Amino acid sequence: MMSVRPTGPLVLSVAAVLAAGTLTACGGGSASDPNTIKIAFPKDTDNKVTVRDNYVKDMAAEFEKEHKGKKVKIIPIQASAQDYVTKLQQMMRSPKTAPDLVYEDTFLINSDIKSGYLRPLDDYTGKWDDWKQFDSTAKSAAKGQDGKTYGILDGTDTRALWFNKKIFKKAGLPEDWKPKTWDDVLKAARTVKKKVPGKIPLNVFTGKGVSEAAAMQGFEMLLYGTGQDPLYDTKSKKWVKGSQGFKDSLDFVKTVYGEHLGPEVDQALSPTMQTKVVTDLLPKEKLAIALDGSWLGQQWLKTGGSPWPEWDETMSMAPMPTQNGEAPGEVSMSGGWTWSIPQKSKNPELAWQMIEHMQSKKNAVEWCVRGAQIAVRDDVAADPKYLNSMPGIKFFTKRVEHTQYRPTLPVYPQVSTAIQEAMEGVTTGDASVGEAAKSYDEQLESITDGAVVKK
């Protein structure tokens, strides 16, 4: 989301995965076998979140059944978010280890395009009837700076505040809570801390352990509520440094952890924190408010990693407000994952056929329903199965109206890391807001070769 959904410590190295043969839909295969495609994607480290694994297995089995003599070898990479990126890039460098199909977070696409890891797909999309069903944002999600398409988005997501109505009732807070400002959010968290001791009032992802989850659904959900183009200035085509909005966002994070409104710091900085929120802290009603994504409900279904039949009665959602209630009054960040074909794939034609199979209308609906994805195809968005798939789907779809997207530029992953480091500094108390912001500005100038503008 899973834009940023793979979590946890590295369990299997790529070498170990390949040596073991991993999971195979129907038998073996090798990189040079013209009848076999290898598919690499992230796997949850705790083996609790298996929605994507099960979907890919089902798609592989269907594909083999419909394409006689063809084999699909699936390579689930069990790793933290950052380790997944590193291991995938290692695999794509050599024809001997390159998969034929890879699952890429959109924030990584342009970095991998610049590195020459991915091949353009325009020759395929130009002949694909289903391409016209994708909305313009979905089509541009995996575009390189050369204007070519390097991946097919299979869904998107939005973000908001999840809150536990039972805890709110005990705290004397309204069940129809809709905060108008950051102060309203902090006020509710302080009320929970005072009136419902033993509960974690608020989780905001932070630090390098959870990687992009901290930068995107933690920090940027704050930063984009402080003004227009607060991270990258589209007019000057430069990265923003020295802004008050950046410092204010860091100060919010510092307040959450400095006032003990969030989880214990060592827990917050753990690479498994994303998984813990969805499989433990929320379903076991230990956490009152979570700044998180639209996909959480998928884990609480009967078929999810942590079935929780009562979740719809217990949990509710509210838009994340802008800092002081400025228009449009709310903030969301959106991302998504694409299916891409590595430049060194030995079987690109067969890999494209697999993309077409997974992105048939029927299978696209199936993935959006299973994966709690926000639809990016017009025909899927209008499908009754999608519209009735899960409580909250209409709420999170409505957030698309005011959502924001990360700068799809090659240096963004490095910028993200610098944000994570600044967050970690104020979370642990090792750096003041001013010190962390200054360090970020210095890193930003280096990362972007001086392409910065002060706001």
Model pLDDT for residues 215-247, shown as the tens digit of each residue = 999 999 999 999 999 999 989 999 999 999 999
Inform me whether the pLDDT recorded for 12 exceeds 60: no
Q: What is the mean pLDDT of residues 362-373?
A: 92
Whole-angstrom Cα distance, residue 355 to residue 364? 10
With bands split at pLDDT 50, 70 and 90, how would you rate the model's confidence at 82? confident
Reading the block at residue 212, the tokens are 């992009």
Q: Residue 348 in 3-state DSSP?
A: helix
Q: Extract the tokens encoding 210.
A: 């959870």
The band of 49, judged by pLDDT with boundaries at 50, 70 and 90, is low
The reply to whether 159-334 shares the fold of 14-157+336-396 is yes
Q: Is the pLDDT of residue 292 over 80?
A: yes
Between CA 353 and CA 128 the distance in angstroms is 11
pLDDT score, position 136? 86
50: confidence class by pLDDT, cuts 50, 70, 90: confident
Is the model's pLDDT at 122 over the cut of 60? yes
Domain 14-157+336-396 has CATH 3.40.50.150: no
pLDDT at 366: 95
- Angle at the Cα of 105 from the Cα atoms of 93 and 445, rounded to 5 degrees: 80
Q: How confident is the model at residue 265 (pLDDT cuts 50, 70, 90)?
A: very high
Strands of the sheet with 101-105, listed across from one edge:
23-24, 71-78, 36-43, 101-105, 336-340, 152-156
Q: What are 155-168's pLDDT values in tens digits?
A: 999 999 999 999 99
pTM of the model: 0.79
If you average pLDDT over residues 318-347, what whole number do you get? 96
Q: Give pLDDT tens digits for 84-112.
A: 989 999 999 999 999 999 999 988 888 89
User: Mean pLDDT across the stretch 339-345?
Assistant: 98
Listed by start position, the domains of the chain span 14-157+336-396, 159-334
3-state secondary structure of 3: coil
Q: What is the pLDDT of residue 27?
A: 39
Q: pLDDT tens, 395-440?
A: 998 898 889 989 888 899 999 999 999 999 999 999 999 999 999 9
Higher pLDDT, 82 or 255: 255
pLDDT confidence of residue 145? 85
Rounded to whole angstroms, how far apart are CA atoms 162 and 399?
A: 14
E-only strand ranges, 83-173: 101-105, 152-156, 159-164
pLDDT score for 28:
40
d(CA 292, CA 276): 13
Angstrom CA distances, 362 to 130, 179, 353, stand at 12, 38, 15
**Element housing 171 (H / E):** helix 165-171
pLDDT for 46? 63
Residue 120: predicted pLDDT: 98
Half-sphere exposure of 435 (CA within 13 A, CB side): 10
Cα–Cα distances in angstroms (integers) from residue 119 to residues 102, 250, 259, 412, in the given order: 11, 38, 48, 20
pLDDT of residue 47: 66
Give the pLDDT mean for 324-344.
96
Please give the mean pLDDT across all residues of the chain.
90
CA atoms lying within 13 Å on the CB side of residue 141: 28
Place domain 159-334 in its CATH homologous superfamily: Periplasmic binding protein-like II (3.40.190.10)
Strand 452-454 versus strand 403-405 pairing type: unpaired
Mapping DSSP to helix (H, G, I), strand (E, B) and coil, where does residue 71 land? strand
Of 120-124, 172-176, 311-315, 409-413, least confident by mean pLDDT is 409-413
